[in-house]
Structure 1
Amino acid sequence: MLQEMISKTVVMEAGEQLKNVLPSNEENIQLMKKALILYRQDCVYRVKPLTNYSTTAYVQDVVPVKVHINLSDVIKSDCSCPAIQPCRHVLAVYLYLYAQYDRLGTFTENWKKHNQHLPLNQLQFKVNDESETLENWIRFFETEFERWEERTPEKQQNIQYLYFGYYTSIKKRSPSEPQLNKIYQIHAALATWFSIDQLFKNGRIHPEQDFLGVNPYIEQLMDTIHSSIDQLITYALSFSLDPFLEKTPAVIRKLLFINDPFHYERLKIFQIMWSALLARPKWLKKELEILTEMEPSPTIQFGRYHLEFLLKNDDDILEKMDDFSPTMLPHTFQWLDMMTMKKDWKRLKKWYDSLQSLTTRFCKLNRPYQDIREVLSEFLLMLGDYSRQTKDDPLYEKYCQCCLPYTFTEYSGFLYGKNRFVEWMELHSLIGFSIAEIGQKALKDIAVSAPEALIPSYHREISALIEQRNRTAYKQAVKYLKKLRTLYKKVKKQHIWKQYMKQLTTRHKRLRAFQEELRKGKLIDES
């Protein structure tokens, strides 16, 4: 049935696609070995053709995964595992299909030889030691991208083919010297990011429709840049890197001009590159002059602010805070984090005193609740570190109050930790929590420490239950009335309890079912 639905030609053409998507470098050789092991151990099962170009299958790995393989465009195959596609499971299923028509050794041998058949000027570029310059690297990146565009059909000029074809190819040209290698890896990732932007401009990928598909690859590029920087700053940077670092600002400046959906990620990389590798006063001042002379835009303005921050010109930034777009708030987090790591509490005080307006305006943005909540949660995490170190609880509470309801969790924890139970209960009532939704442990703790804090909430809950006008609600109201009676007894205000019960029974004397439940609960006598 498999061979009746899917022709040998289709399977062989898919193999040609894989040769371009997965160049035979060390990383992909290991990937192919894992796929071969899965196939040879009979881990591929329940192979079911769907059309003449697609099939589903299951692969038994550490856990079973489901694979859908698209032979007309193998990059569009998917797998239930979290790995970037094509993964070892997709390859294992393809090997299963290939084996139905030909010897597997034929495919693997041709795959390994594929790159060797490309023109030397296309694949065998190798910079000589004396030509290890940033200019040569950039020239190589641009030339390789042009060649990738020439040899890749338009329908295959997508993020997957770019990542596994172009990016994989330029990555393996990196120098052997460790520190220079890391600088190269950073620039290779940036070059790939700029190439993704070119795909956006050429209409090969769509900013909205393809956003979720592109996002994992952007995250991979960011991880490469972050890890390379971390390894570089572990030890003192060699002076031999200065010619590369000195010319790097012109490259990362391009991040400010890209018009893609990954606005936050681009500015994040701009920040960390300047903060970790380029924060020399001479370079900072020179770049600030360049950006100041440019036509202002939100991203260029942000670039200026970041350089001003690194030069510690805080007053110049803070006096413009009211002019900031509220979307700027997440971009201030790296600044706050840097000051926190340096324990520069005095400087942080000035910043937190100035950020309230921006934070309040951020809360009013027309965005999904969870998006705003995530940003404010990160902000309060940093603010919490500051307030604990400086004992500035009023500042923390002020932010919790002005950002409600998004800061309910943090403010609730703050009040509970301070044993301010009356305000804690008021906060829950304000958000709309009922007594039933509050944990029993919390109710017991409050009943012991501050019983008066529970009384108003029980009153509200009882009134709401009676208004429902049904027997079930009346029974629950009676349960709460008994707890309320206990609370009044604890605070030694039984006279208020008696007065309340007299008013309650008089007001609802026509509710026979309620009166009956009161008698059953022995809250009123038979008369």
Structure 2
Amino acid sequence: MLQDMISKTVVMDAAEQFKHVLPCTEANIQLMKKALILYRQDSVYRVKPMSGHTVSAYVQDVVPVKVFIDLADVKKSSCSCPAQNICRHVLAVYLYLYAQYDRLGTFTEFWKEAQKRRENRDILGQLQRGMKPRSHTLDQWTSFFKTEFRRWEEHTPKNQQTMQYLYYGYFSALKKRTPAEPELKKMYQIHAALATWLAMHSLVEKGRIDPEKDFYSLNPYIEQLMDTIYSSIDELKTYALSFSLDPFLEKTPGAIRELLLKKDIFQYERLRIFGEIWSALLSRPNWLKRELDVLNDLEPSPEIQFGRLHLEFLLKNDDVILDQAGSFSPEILPYTFQWLSVMTAKKDWKRLKKWYEHLEQLASGFCRLDKPYREIRDVLSEFFLFLSDYSKNAKEEHVYERYCKKCLPYTFTEYSHFLYNKNRFTEWMEIHSLVGFSISEIGQNALKDIAAAAPEALIPSYHREISGLVEQKNRSSYKEAVKQLKKLRSLYKKSKKQDVWNRFMEQFSARYKRLRAFQEELKKGKLIDGES
């Protein structure tokens, strides 16, 4: 382990050096912000101690760069990027090392002090202008949310304590107190949305809202709260999160855990929000480990199980998750999409290879669940989008095909496209027949392509089509059967099986010799008595 090879003392001593090498100037503050972005986006990888005070690592920026950091003399650190002095990549690697031993807020105290001096000057200016400065803490926000909810309950008749009134009354009141600062504004919106969601659960627990009866009326408002949270997270990710947000981020796990621990209603949505906030804003190793300890001490439940697994995923402890995969219910499949999307976005094909080796049983099990066809189809359709990206980029198309076969008939569309693009037309026609497609239901362009490349692939389907038409025993179906027979004759000719066609036609005509109308149509079509 890294901690066994690099001592905490060496890392902490280097902090003092960085404070002097990077004085608190506006340029260096921007440099620190860029380094924080790289660290928080998990861009530092392959960190390898070389001695008791030197480390090499890679950083994924616009292009990957290699960093060498000397903790005994940080000025000797180097990077393969063009920068002449200490760059954001070297600093990002140091932030990664520091976070293994202590919270980054300790290291950034110097920067905080400088920031506080600027804030004090601003406050002094406000006081001189007769203005009352506003302070913000998460505890203050939480206290305000609770006070406002009590006020809303007191002033809202019980028959009006519905999700609609909660959203447009309570949530709207919270939004009026949104801070003006961009970063604080987005953080506040996330917590206001969480508070509104928790307030809904409070109304459920008090019997004011019936979760089953009112589900469809609740759903649009939950979606809007989720949109607020997602959009706020997206905007926060565009900033280099300032150190002043650390006190808010450090206390956010408690709020999101409270939502996670609610029961039954909107379980999938609650887990999605839990996963997104942890992935985007809270994925520092020491925070993850601390929260994992908290969840491990709680009574097991599906929500707690997912929470633990998600934190293990963010810590890259995939083996811990995959070792349990055999005991998972197939119901968990859609919950893995958060993880698959992260690995796919990072093009981490090596990591995904192990995942797809273990998810096959879950995917095939999901197909056997007692659920409506459309519901299973929708989940598998999303799953196969991730699998398709992996199979193409990792050149593992055999894995994609194996999953397609396991999940038929729900994967008919995916498997059909796969076979067609591979020019495996015989199998393509077989699966169409398997699910009941007739020749008349297959597009003309596809029929032309197959007839040109592999005419023999169409022959069995034409035989089935023609037999079905004749069995209808009416003049119009006989005429259509003759048209199809002419196409079948062409296919036999292209396949150089004219003798097989001749024998078939002789036997086919004899089988239906009692159907006079059909015999007449065969003669009109010149398929018997003078066929070419």
Q: So what's the TM-score if we normalise by structure 1? A: 0.74
CA–CA distance in 2 between the matches of 1:152 and 1:239?
A: 40
CA–CA distance in 2 between the matches of 1:298 and 1:346?
A: 29
CA–CA distance in 2 between the matches of 1:482 and 1:205?
A: 67
1:230 aligns with 2:234: yes
Cα shift at 1:205? 2.4
For each residue in 1:147-193, what CA deviation from the matched residue of structure 2 results, as whole angstroms up to 9, or x when unmatched? 11110011111111111110000111122221111111100000000
After superposition, residues 97-108 of structure 1 pair within 5 angstroms as: none
CA–CA distance in 1 between the matches of 2:285 and 2:369?
A: 36
What residue in structure 2 maps to residue 367 of structure 1?
Answer: 371
CA–CA distance in 2 between the matches of 1:463 and 1:500?
A: 12
1:474 aligns with 2:478: yes
After superposition, residues 415-430 of structure 1 pair within 5 angstroms as: 415-430=419-434
For each residue in 1:284-339, what CA deviation from the matched residue of structure 2 results, as whole angstroms up to 9, or x when unmatched? 01111111111101110010000000011101100111111212111111111111
CA–CA distance in 2 between the matches of 1:518 and 1:344?
A: 62
CA–CA distance in 1 between the matches of 2:239 and 2:263?
A: 35
Cα shift at 1:276? 0.5
1:169 aligns with 2:169: no
What residue in structure 1 maps to residue 143 of structure 2?
Answer: 139
Cα shift at 1:131? 4.8
What residue in structure 1 maps to residue 341 of structure 2?
Answer: 337
Percent identity (aligned): 67
After superposition, residues 100-249 of structure 1 pair within 5 angstroms as: 131-249=135-253
Cα shift at 1:515? 1.6
Equivalent pair of 1:197/1:260 in contact (CA under 8 Å): no
Cα shift at 1:513? 2.1
CA–CA distance in 2 between the matches of 1:228 and 1:459?
A: 60
Cα shift at 1:470? 2.5
The 3-state SS of whatever aligns with 1:279 is coil
What residue in structure 2 maps to residue 390 of structure 1?
Answer: 394
**Structure 2: tracts of 5 or more residues without a match:** 1-131
The 3-state SS of whatever aligns with 2:480 is helix
**Structure 1: tracts of 5 or more residues without a match:** 1-127
What residue in structure 2 maps to residue 485 of structure 1?
Answer: 489
The 3-state SS of whatever aligns with 1:331 is helix
Equivalent pair of 1:200/1:260 in contact (CA under 8 Å): no
The 3-state SS of whatever aligns with 1:247 is helix
CA–CA distance in 2 between the matches of 1:231 and 1:526?
A: 78
1:267 aligns with 2:271: yes
What residue in structure 2 maps to residue 49 of structure 1?
Answer: none
1:400 aligns with 2:404: yes
Cα shift at 1:208? 2.7
Cα shift at 1:130? 6.7
CA–CA distance in 2 between the matches of 1:461 and 1:523?
A: 17
CA–CA distance in 1 between the matches of 2:316 and 2:270?
A: 23
What residue in structure 2 maps to residue 121 of structure 1?
Answer: none
1:293 aligns with 2:300: no
1:496 aligns with 2:504: no
What residue in structure 1 maps to residue 87 of structure 2?
Answer: none
CA–CA distance in 1 between the matches of 2:391 and 2:360?
A: 15
AA aligned to 2:320 is D
1:346 aligns with 2:350: yes
1:278 aligns with 2:276: no
CA–CA distance in 1 between the matches of 2:176 and 2:438?
A: 61
Aligned residues: 400
AA aligned to 1:203 is G
1:436 aligns with 2:440: yes
Q: Which stretches of structure 1, 4 residues or more, deviate above 4 A after TM superposition? A: 128-131
For each residue in 1:74-133, what CA deviation from the matched residue of structure 2 results, as whole angstroms up to 9, or x when unmatched? xxxxxxxxxxxxxxxxxxxxxxxxxxxxxxxxxxxxxxxxxxxxxxxxxxxxxx867522
CA–CA distance in 1 between the matches of 2:487 and 2:325?
A: 51
For each residue in 1:344-382, what CA deviation from the matched residue of structure 2 results, as whole angstroms up to 9, or x when unmatched? 110000001110000111111111111111111111111
For each residue in 1:458-510, what CA deviation from the matched residue of structure 2 results, as whole angstroms up to 9, or x when unmatched? 01111222222222222221111110001001111100000101111122222
After superposition, residues 8-27 of structure 1 pair within 5 angstroms as: none
CA–CA distance in 1 between the matches of 2:138 and 2:403?
A: 46
The 3-state SS of whatever aligns with 2:319 is helix
AA aligned to 1:461 is E
CA–CA distance in 2 between the matches of 1:462 and 1:203?
A: 64
For each residue in 1:13-62, what CA deviation from the matched residue of structure 2 results, as whole angstroms up to 9, or x when unmatched? xxxxxxxxxxxxxxxxxxxxxxxxxxxxxxxxxxxxxxxxxxxxxxxxxx
The 3-state SS of whatever aligns with 1:339 is helix
What residue in structure 1 maps to residue 465 of structure 2?
Answer: 461
CA–CA distance in 2 between the matches of 1:150 and 1:395?
A: 59
For each residue in 1:264-297, what CA deviation from the matched residue of structure 2 results, as whole angstroms up to 9, or x when unmatched? 1110000000000000111101111111111101
Q: Quick one: structure 1 residues 129 and 454, their matched pair in 2 at CA, closer, same or farther if it must change by over 3 Å?
A: farther
CA–CA distance in 2 between the matches of 1:243 and 1:489?
A: 79
CA RMSD of aligned residues (A): 1.5
CA–CA distance in 1 between the matches of 2:428 and 2:316?
A: 40
CA–CA distance in 2 between the matches of 1:186 and 1:263?
A: 19
